[in-house]
Amino acid sequence: MKKFDENMLKTLKEQIRAAYGVELETQGHVVLQTGENKIRFTTEETYELALNFRGVANIGVYVAKSRKKFTLITIEGCMFTKLLAGANLVHVSKEQALSWMKGDPVEVGPVSAKTVIGMYGKHFLGSAVVDVNGTAYPQIPKWRRIPPTIS
């Protein structure tokens, strides 16, 4: 667990802005780099207290993950963002939102960006990678997917 310094924070914010066109709001939070390139947010008080404990397995909330080609942003990560003009958002229907949360590909039409944030109404659905045909591949972890209905 490594605390982000100013430079790391600046780079992260730039990556998020470039990928999704949103501003990551870090004020009032401690930003941490943890295993598997996961980026987590917590509060200063929580961080200070955790330093005194043995066997800390997890801290705060997982907001983003640095990958080779892009930075993934989680559903909770979206809640720490400020939408900028021209943000890479795709608004989906209820059916599409359900497919999204099942981890299934969703047709979103041609978009200029390779990575987008999904929204149903005002509810964030996390990020997705979009291919040239306009199909979004939601980055939903397996444990969080709506289970497929058994017929």
Partner 1 sequence: MNVNLSEELKSFLFEFVPDRFEQLVESYEKPFPETFRVNTLKISQAECLELLAEDGIEATPIPYTEDGFYVKPPGTVSTTLWHMLGYVYVQGPVSILITELLDVKPGMKVLDLCAAPGSKTTHIAAKLQRRGVVVANDVSRTRIKALASNMQRCGVVNGFITLSDGRCLGYRHRRLFDRVLVDAPCTSLGIGSKDWSVLKYWTVRSSQRLGRLQRSLLLSGYQALKPGGSLIYSTCTFHPFENEYVVSALLEKFPDAKLEPLNIQNLSYEKGLESWQGVNFPSEVTKTVRIYPFHSGAEGFYIAKIIKPG
Interface positions with partner 1 (CB under 8 A): 29, 41-43, 45-46, 49-50, 52-62, 74-76, 79, 94, 97-98, 101, 120, 123-125, 143-147
- The secondary element (H helix, E strand) that includes residue 13 is helix 6-20
Q: Which residue has the tokens 């997982």?
A: 62
| Cα(17)–Cα(11) distance, integer angstroms | 10
Beta bridge partners of 72: 65
Contacts (Cβ under 8 Å, ≥6 apart) of 136: 90, 100, 105, 106, 107, 108, 116, 118, 128, 129, 130
Minimum CB distance to partner 1, residue 119 (Å): 11
CA-based end-to-end distance of the chain = 44
Minimum CB distance to partner 1, residue 95 (Å): 11
Minimum CB distance to partner 1, residue 111 (Å): 22
Beta carbon nearer to partner 1, 34 or 114: 34
Beta carbon nearer to partner 1, 32 or 116: 32
Beta carbon nearer to partner 1, 16 or 59: 59
Residue 86 structure tokens:
């021209």
Beta carbon nearer to partner 1, 2 or 94: 94
